[in-house]
Amino acid sequence: MALVNENYLKLKAGYLFPEIGRRVKGFSAAHPEARVLRLGIGDVTRPLVPAVLEAFHAGVDDLASAASFRGYGPERGYEFLTGILAEKAYAPLGVTLKPEEIFVSDGSKCDCANILDIFGLGNRVAICDPVYPVYIDTNVMVGRTGPVDAKGHYAGVVYLPCTAENDFTPALPDQPVDLIYLCYPNNPTGTVASLEQLKLWVDYALAQGAVLLFDAAYEAFITDPAIPRSIYQVEGAERCAIEFRSFSKTAGFTGVRCGLTVVPEALQARTAAGEMVSLNALWSRRQSTKFNGVSYPVQRAAAAVYSDAGWAQVKEIIDYYMGNARIIREGLGAAGITCYGGVNAPYIWLKTPQGMSSWEFFDRLLEECHVVGTPGSGFGPSGEGYFRLSAFGERENVEAAVQRIREKWGQ
Ligand code: MLT
């Protein structure tokens, strides 16, 4: 009889977003007349921009003739894409990367999970609470944790609470750790980190020999030019950090699928015997064995995001979503609901009204306002009593959702 990976049995319930989808589906089936407004999962609604579409189509056309046809591509991504990323996404930040340090993938969610393949099980992991659930769930799946306790914390994980009391900014761990997940701009709280704050983490990681797993999926939504967009803007980060980025929210690729992971050549970790090993070489080995690259037309489309026309068009959409974020933040704030985030990030993190639990508020919001959000406790125990609204959506839906919440819970 085949044996299962019992680590999966340690996981709490289902993955957060399908669970929300299930409840919303149930509600809609029971109330087919209700116009449900979805501000739950951070999924984009605006179509691909013209420059990206044109490149996407041209990429497909290339496959139609033998002269320009492409079969398997390079596992790391085509150089036309890694090159433009180094030049347009990183060089303007003062970050010098070689194309070989950039690995194109089908999205940062997959990479945040897959990266665990190259790290030993004995590593101690530090994870913020609340947090994007993928970081914790994938560590449970590979067996790096013990069982979950009554509060919702897994044994063996060092949790870094992010609460209103510490401005949702985690303190450095009070015990040695080897892998640290950071996400800025933050999902779910919408907070950002200054250069000084990131420097604390880089200095800590260098001193400990730890590796930072830095999720920068929302960097394009930073509006304040003083806020760093990449961990590599901090000196020394190339020796202690892996960075994940995504085209999903930046350019509407949640369905198209494309992301990138930077593993600098200077980054090393050690074997149990103390030998230093290149993480770039290990990740390359992993990708070339388990991954065959992103499709050629998608990479053409992704490269067009960084063309002059593409970036101008994409920026307009980012501004549109950030306009939504402002409407939510200001609209609910003016009604007496405490809101965080939404200035340099597309997520608004709010305190649930009347001290409701996160799921209680979720159910009442759905039933009484027909609005979907994400319960804060779904991101970890410290998210209890909070709720996340996503700014990705059509303007009229966002305005209507804010109006309905104000009417019901505004003061
Ligand atoms: C979210 O809503 O947190 C994200 O859309 C989930 C994801 O990017 O996988």
- Provide mean pLDDT across the span 142-166: 96
Q: 3-state SS string over 121-170?
A: CCCCEEEEECCCHHHHHHHHHHCCCCCECCCCCECCEEEEECCHHHCCCC
Res 83: pLDDT: 97
Q: Best mutation site among 187, 221, 244, 246 for ligand 1, i.e. most ligand atoms within 8 A of its Cβ?
A: 187
CA distance linking residue 153 with residue 146, whole number of Å: 10
The residue assigned the tokens 């970081």 is: 135
Write the pLDDT tens digit of every residue in 74-89: 989 999 999 999 999 9
Res 17: pLDDT: 86
Rg (CA), the chain: 21
Res 15: pLDDT: 75
Is 26's pLDDT higher than 80? yes
Calculate ∠ Cα 91-106-268, nearest 5°. 55
Is 62's pLDDT higher than 80? yes
Please spell the DSSP secondary structure of 191-232, one letter per residue: ----HHHHHHHHHHHHHHT-EEEEE-TTGGG---TTS-SSGG
The residue assigned the tokens 């790096």 is: 144
CA distance linking residue 246 with residue 109, whole number of Å: 9
CA distance linking residue 382 with residue 58, whole number of Å: 47
CA distance linking residue 371 with residue 361, whole number of Å: 11
Is 13's pLDDT higher than 90? no
CB 215 within 8 A of CB 181: yes
Res 18: pLDDT: 87
Is 14's pLDDT higher than 90? no
Res 263: pLDDT: 98
- 162 CA to middle of ligand 1, Å? 19
Res 56: pLDDT: 98
The predicted model scores a pTM of 0.97
Q: Look at residues 374, 328, 384 and name the one whose alpha carbon lies nearest to residue 162.
A: 384
Write the pLDDT tens digit of every residue in 236-289: 999 999 999 999 999 999 999 999 999 999 999 999 999 999 999 999 999 999
Task: For residue 187, give the ligand 1 atom closest to its CA.
Answer: 3
Helix (H, G, I), strand (E, B) or coil at 48: coil
Q: Best mutation site among 41, 114, 221 for ligand 1, i.e. most ligand atoms within 8 A of its Cβ?
A: 41
Structural domains of the chain, with CATH: 13-42+310-409 (3.90.1150.10), 52-306 (3.40.640.10)
Res 411: pLDDT: 80
Task: For residue 132, give the ligand 1 atom closest to its CA.
Answer: 3
CA distance linking residue 267 with residue 260, whole number of Å: 17
